[in-house]
Amino acid sequence: MGIKHFGCVRFDSDDPNLGGWAAVNGGSAFRISSVGNLDNDTLWWTNLSFAAVHGANLNKTPYIKRTTYLNSWLQDGQIEICNGWGLLRRSHTEKAITETLSGVFTRVMCFAGDTYGIQYNRTVPTHDNLADELRCKILPDKDPHIGTEVDSALWAAHQYYTYCLTPYANREETVMVRFAVPAVAYATEMLNAIVPTDQVEYVPAEKLPPAEQRVEWVINHPRPALVRVTVSNIHPDYVNVIAFANGAKAGSNRAWISQPELLLLSKYAQVEINALFLFGGYDTLPVESRLPQFTAMQAMTPSAEILASNHWIGLARENCFRLEPKSSEYRAISPRAAWMTAIDRFVMFTYALQLHRAGIAIRRYGAGAVTVIVPKHNYRDAYEIATSIGLIAPPSLISDIEVQDELQSYV
């Protein structure tokens, strides 16, 4: 039996055995006493964390999805979507927020079903996030393992975020704000990127040009390269933002990087190339990877932004569990995924650098956004600088600035 409806649940705390609000298909919200009140004809998107879902053994209940189902690249799930669209408790009741999220979830899932051919009436979605659901419809075959050494190099080079080196800040006096690029336009840009083919050959150091010529040789090479590097002497003005190897996967010191990241690092640091893999050539993504068409009005809606982000991020991940049921560090990471995440971080670096030069502390960047640290009582500077360079601010920031300006007039 499949799914007939789509619902949202917001438990009062991170515990499925306690009460909360629930709404189905964007309808009126109602109270529940525990997860046991939820019917199995509905796909429920909850605000439960990974720990809560697994602690209650709900990970074996496919019609219950945890908070990050719609935005698996962000840890806070529903909270992030609420922050991004101004659905805050100070402005809306928990009942109203649940109803709004239920409507967004219903529109996203119905569009995904109609556009990507996900047949909810026949089966319950089996993945724990929408990005993997879409990826398996766009590219249903798992990415192959190329070879032990190449797999290891791709795994080391693949990274979703750059976590910056930030100065000490009093948490009681600062807040993190996520500024994002327009999601639909950015997804289109990411999907137009050229990526390496799977054919690859190893080039040892003795077959490379002299050490001082290697960086330029690789950057200008017509074939994509995955290079083993030693990075040092990062320019002191940019070391906090570049933060090379900060946020790398456990057990990796980021010795391997792709060409886009080499291009970035070579401008601000000393880079030595020790060895490299050369891929056969560049290729565009298959026609199946194209983003669905959205009108200009549709592109500004939460559902279009969520779908567009899940579409390209689904192609920039390792094989999902349903395609390759192993621990994540043993699943294949394709050259496509390594290049797409590198291109994304390269583009987001250009925004982060502008904010950094303006004196704003950067927390991290990647996945189409830059997260910054700003003083709680002075949002205006960060807002004006970020929006002037094309980033979108959370709508609640505008009302906060208005309140701050009003209060400062009495000082």
> For 234-259, how does the pLDDT look when each residue is reduced to its tens digit (9 = 90+)?
999 999 999 887 766 655 667 899 99
**What dihedral angle (degrees, nearest 10) is formed by the CA atoms of 317, 321, 327, 331?**
-50
pLDDT digits (tens, 9 = 90+) for 335-360: 999 999 999 999 999 999 999 999 99
**What are the tokens at 211?**
């050490």
pLDDT digits (tens, 9 = 90+) for 99-155: 999 999 999 999 999 999 888 878 888 899 999 999 999 999 999 999 999 999 999
Is pLDDT of 2 > 90?
A: no
Handedness of CA 129, 247, 163, 177 (dihedral sign): positive
Q: What is the mean pLDDT of the segment spanning 174-192? A: 94
Mean model confidence pLDDT for the chain = 91
Spatial distance between the Cα atoms of 410 and 204, rounded to a whole number of angstroms: 68
Q: Specify the pLDDT at position 89.
A: 81
Spatial distance between the Cα atoms of 243 and 239, rounded to a whole number of angstroms: 6
Q: What is the mean pLDDT of the segment spanning 39-51? A: 95
pLDDT digits (tens, 9 = 90+) for 285-324: 999 999 999 999 999 899 999 999 999 999 999 999 889 8
Beta bridge partners of residue 272, listed in sequence order: 230
Beta bridge partners of residue 11, listed in sequence order: 20
**What are the tokens at 82?**
């609420």
* DSSP string for 255-316: -EEEHHHHHHHHHHSEEEEEEEEEES-EEEPPGGGPPPP--TTGGGSHHHHHHHHHHHHHTT
Q: What is the mean pLDDT of the segment spanning 202-215? A: 90
The pTM is what? Answer: 0.92
End-to-end CA distance of the chain: 64
User: Please, how many CA atoms are within 13 Å of residue 6, restricted to the half-sphere of its CB?
Assistant: 23
